[in-house]
Structure 1
Amino acid sequence: MRILLVAACALALLTGCGADAICGGGEYPVKAVGNTTGAACVPEGEEPPDGYVRYPAGQEPKHVDDKWDKYWQTKVVDASGKIVSG
């Protein structure tokens, strides 16, 4: 079993797989209210902290600089998640 874990880690390092994930396993990304750059990761099953909202379903960034990461870097949302500028 240990050899499989070592092999999987080595493969991930060589291919870059997972190295640029927005959040770690068991977490989901949230967007800060009122600015373009704020974001955080929240443990699955927990609500976003005050000042953050969930991304709309299907529009969550998964990896750094993916389509949705770039999109949300230019948008400002209000406390209900509605885009208010950008």
Structure 2
Amino acid sequence: MSRSITRPTIASEARRLRGLLAAALVGSAALVTLTGCSSFEFREDICSNGEYPVMTVNGTGSACVSDGEQPPAGYVRYPEGNVPRHVDDKWDVYWRTHTLDEDGNVITAPDAG
């Protein structure tokens, strides 16, 4: 007695693949919806670990100084609570047009433009 082997037709195989593709697309859409696109956002730090940001007096320049060290001549620490942490965050944008004068007062930066 011989057994006949049935093979899927091209049409049935194509339907199966379309179903798998549709399921994958629905799953991907659900993943993006549930996690939100912001979870994939990259935010560049102003300074590396072990450093803190400082700004120039009367200008919009900035630098990073190793923790435990004082700012170099011509630089000061940002006022507490107004320290930029990431590129383009609220304080990074603010300090592009503002600075501290030699007395520690916040002023409009002379080189802001």
- Give the TM-score taking structure 1 as reference length: 0.72
**What is the root-mean-square deviation of aligned Cα atoms in Å?**
1.6
TM-score w.r.t. the length of structure 2 is 0.56
The C-alpha deviation readout for 1:37-74, integer Å capped at 9, x for no partner, is x0000001111000000001111000000000001111
Structure (1 or 2) with the greater helix fraction: 2
Among 68, 71, 80, the alignment partner of 1:45 is 68
CA distance in 1, matches of 2:65, 2:76: 11
2-structure distance, mates of 1:79, 1:33: 6
Q: How many residues align?
A: 70
Structure 1 runs not aligned, ≥5 long: 1-14
Indicate the structure (1 or 2) with the bigger Cα radius of gyration. Answer: 2
Query: How far apart are residue 83 of structure 1 and its match?
Result: 1.3
Percent identity, please.
Answer: 53
Runs of 4+ in 1 over 6 A off after TM superposition: none
Residues 6-21 of structure 1 mapped to structure 2, 5 A cutoff: 15=40, 17=42, 20-21=44-45
**Runs of 5+ unmatched residues, structure 2:** 1-39
Within a 5 Å distance, the mapping from 1:1-86 to structure 2 comes to 15=40, 17=42, 20-36=44-60, 38-86=61-109
Deviation for aligned residue 1:80: 3.7
- CA distance in 1: counterparts of 2:42 and 2:51, whole angstroms: 17
**Distance across 2 between alignment mates of 1:68 and 1:59:** 6
Write 1 or 2 for the structure with the bigger share of strand: 1
One-letter amino acid of the structure 2 residue matched with residue 25 of structure 1? N
